[in-house]
Structure 1
Amino acid sequence: MLLAFGLSFVTLLVVADEGGALVSPAPVETAFRAIKRSASGKLELADTAELARVRREQPHFWFIARSDGGEIVQSGDVPDIYRGMTVALDRMTYSDIRDDGPPSNYLAVIRRMTNEEGSFTVFGQGTLLSQPSLILSFSRLFVAPMLVLLALVTIFAVPRIVNRAIRGISDLARETDEINITHRSHRLAETAVPSEVRPLVRGINSALHRLDQSYGQHQRFILDAAHELRTPVAILQARLDLLASGPERDRLISDCERISALAEQLLDLQRLEADARPFTAVDIVALCRNVVADLAPLAIDEGYDLSFEQNTEQSLIQGDAVSLERAVTNLVQNAIEHAGNQGVIVVRVEPDGVIEVSDDGPGIPEAERERVFEAFYRLKPRERGAGLGLNLVLQIAQRQRPREHPHLTERRCLLSAGL
């Protein structure tokens, strides 16, 4: 825009000047710089190289300067038509004079100039300023500085202006980190973003609302189905108990127990999400000790030694004691079922709040260590279990991890269980 303005202004100057060119005061300025005071105190023109060049280029160059004190300095023959003006230089300050056209013998300029010798009114022969010279001069004096200013504004001011305008978008991007499966109700703020972006934010919030509703319906369906399943399973178990003992009855009871366990795990998953209990202070040393005491008879019956180790007397965290106890219990039960009915199962509490469950079983292949946390995924088909245990533990660990400690990872405690 600045460049367009500059070119338009130059074009206006050129078009407004009927001859297509302006008068340049350069020769007069060169002569003025040559004014010196001699040893006798008289003003005169010194023979400078610049003045000699002007006289070579303009053989008929003329120049006259009058100081405010009335002293006159003159060089060359003043044209007859201007001799009457030289006596009135004290009343003149500025003028550009040009004749009709070539050979342009009467080009002249009048200027007020000052140097160390004082202030002068100078009157002398000018020269034509061509259009390229005019454009170059104007660019040097106006356009180029403005372009430099524009560049500085672009480099320093524009980024700040843009950053200030879109700061809300950066905050919005950080807000998206708050959206996850456990915080589905969170919506993006519309107030701090540019108006052009608000329709997009509203669209995203609307989509999140629809997803939240659909997910809620899905969860309610699973919860209702699990509840409905418990009654017929209980009736089936009661009727199976009335059958005569035998291999077929035992197989049916085992299948029925598996269905019952699946229903209970589905209910556990839904309770975990529905029961958004506030976190309280939990001593995980005492919690794990109680779990070990409760499950010790079961572990011993299955051929294991169940051990509890603590590397600290007390480890207080903010969490949900019920969910944590359920998770540790689930890990120990998995170890009892999958460790081969031999060896030692160890529940260990570290000083930094890490719970570790280990056993002497074959362990989890490295390639499967991520997939074992998927719902219904099982390393080996078994008659018992539904493949939801570790998924439940994972969700409990994710919920227990506080936002102020994002470096804590649930994988450390879960993968330590040698399944």
Structure 2
Amino acid sequence: MYKNLSKRVHLKSTWVAGAILLFTTVLISCSEDEGGKSAPIPTITAVSAESGEPGDDITITGTDLDEALTVAFGGANAAIVSNTSTEIVATVPEDAVTGKIRVTTEGGVAESAGDFNVIIVGAAVISDISPMSAQAGETVIITGTDMATISSVKIGEIDATVVGTTETTATITVGEGSALGLSSLTIVNEGGTATTSTEQNAFYVIKMIDEKYRMTFDNDDVELAFSGSPDTEESTAFGRSDDVTNVADVADALPSAIDGTFFHMEGYSSTEYSGSYICYVGTAEQEVGTFSDFFGTALPEDIYFNIQMNVGDLPEGYTGDEDDGQMVVGFRFRFSSDYYEYNATMKELLDMGFAPDENGWQNVSVPASLFVDRAGLEEFNFGDMNRYGLSVRRAYGGGTTLPLSSDPDAIFYSLSYDNASISVGGPASF
């Protein structure tokens, strides 16, 4: 009896093992077949419109779009009207919000280059947000249409306070706890809900370094230093614009003020001189750790050095190329024993959109991600910064690209600075 039972168990076990082996082989075979036919990654090359209302049909052009699993407008799935490998027609869904268009296939996800602006009939249409950055508690004016019935505004996920509205404007204050950085605004009126595009209407929630650590040059809390070749001091003016001894009654290229006093430096070159000018202006040194709470865990791309500057007339032959003889300003985060610097040329500043106004002043905000470790800091923490400032270095003669003048009173360069500050979350608004 036990022998027969054992035999039956053995036969059954053999059959089960064989079935499992066969099933496993089929699975492996199927897996290999699927793995050998990986779907291509889709791309979006064009969208038929930059904006539209729910219910509008939008044509999306690209490659490898066939057999799309989903098409989403700002995260809301749309109905697909037609679908080929190079074109999808999809209907803007009722719950769509302003944002990227995303197409998902077996091969991956394609995303539109720009935001698709969802227009809700009767909802507010935003044309401008001013200023482009603000701190919690500060006032912001939103300009557009259908603004009179606005009942609420959110910046990111946090409610702003609506102070007042007209048909074309809404005045709000930034709510406490609003997340730092680039933010969209969600605006509700009687006609519906509108969400701003961070590409078309950029707005940043920021925090600014304390006023006592800003360089307005209306006080004496700045460090001034100058060095150069033996003959340069007598041909250089530098200091606050109200310094009658060294600037106000001496400088030849003093620009009009933005507000109050500012820092000014100008130098002269001629065939009688050969050497370089080096000038540094910065905040007073603080104890290490003074700014640790301010910076927190902010990344370099979220930290901005802000300043208003006036370069004046650049010397003939100036090309704006990147070398020490052509820099217009060096921005510095300084630490107890070293510094972290970005030496900007005029070409770089203009390429970033910092064009001078009619009086020559430029509003400049540069992210710390552009700075380099020129002094070999290697590892450091922005929270260990103990001061910040600006430097200018001008070499002339000795084979540099900047020409010397035969006129001993020729202006070699002039530079003026005002309202320097540090911000976290985005650029400052001047």
Select the structure with the greater relative contact order (CA < 8 A; seq sep ≥ 6): 2
TM-score range for the pair, normalised by the shorter chain length: under 0.3
Taking structure 2 as the reference length, the TM-score comes to: 0.22
- The answer to which structure has the higher helix fraction is 1
- Specify the structure having the higher radius of gyration (Cα): 1
